[in-house]
Amino acid sequence: MSENENQSAAQPPAVQEKVSLWSLFWIFAKIGAMTFGGGYAMLPIITRELCENRDWLTEDEIMDYFAIGQCTPGVIAVNTATFTGRKMRGIAGGIVASLGIVFPSIVIITAIASLLRNFAHLQPVQDALAGIRVCVCILILNAVIKLWKSAVVDIPALIMFIVIFLASVFFDISPIIMVVAAGVCGILLKGRKQEQAAIEAASDAVYEGKTDVPVGKSANSASAEGAAAQNSPDGKEAR
């Protein structure tokens, strides 16, 4: 294989080549610069920017990134940026996106750290921070509502939501344990649904005459009767 072919094979898919590293850095830098209140307050802005405005991610993908980012080390917004950059432009994209989302915070905090003590006691500053906290609550609530609509889609998901909510409110349980437990429950429920769908499909096929196996007769017994019929002298089914 030639060197050009090796380079071509190492490149991301065509849809990813449309996104430059500078675009990744700039988009996440804007998210980091315009968001107050920490990682959770960034979630609705990240969702709108990546899913609605740019179609870089689907809603299922962004929810998966949020879930994984919650149970891995680091801030959830930074982890989401890393996953998104990795998808769009590989390892370099993950690094650039992560640097982009933390760069504004580093610059701003460094600039105001020495001045904060001089202004934090002022009443206008305290009032402004109180208003920002209210806005942060609304942003987080908005993210929860959007995630609710796409995640809680049936009765088992609703039951899981209620159980995890009560566990988080009344018990001191690590978020990692809750995420892992929810993942296990999701696997079990999904497997159960697939099994039920297969049974229903087989039943429909029997009643619609799409299979030669009568209701109540297994495939093994049908195969045995067919073999006995072929081995009988007159070619009829053995009695």
According to the model, what pLDDT value does residue 236 have?
A: 47
83-120 burial, b if ≥16 CB within 10 A, otherwise e? bbbbbbbeeebbbbbbbbbbebeeeeeeeeeeeeeeee
Per-residue pLDDT of the chain (239 residues; tens, 9 = 90+): 444 444 444 444 444 447 888 888 999 998 888 766 666 777 778 888 888 888 888 888 888 888 787 777 777 888 888 999 888 888 998 999 999 998 988 888 887 776 767 777 778 878 887 887 888 788 778 778 877 877 788 888 888 888 888 888 888 888 788 888 888 888 887 777 666 767 777 777 766 665 544 444 444 444 445 555 555 555 444 44
Determine contact, residues 103/22, Cβ cutoff 8 Å: no
According to the model, what pLDDT value does residue 12 have?
A: 41
pTM over 0.85: no
DSSP letter string, the chain = --HHHHHHHHSPPHHHHTS-HHHHHHHHHHHHHH--SSHHHHHHHHHIIIIIIS-SS-HHHHHHHHHHHHSSSS-HHHHHHHHHHHHHHHHHHHHHHHHHHHHHHHHHHHHHHHHHHHHTTSHHHHHHHHHHHHHHHHHHHHHHHHHHHHH--SHHHHHHHHHHHHHHHHS---HHHHHHHHHHHHHHHHHHHHHHHHHHHHHHHHHTT-SSSPTT--HHHHHHHHHHHHHSTTSSPP-
Domain boundaries, the chain: 12-151, 153-211
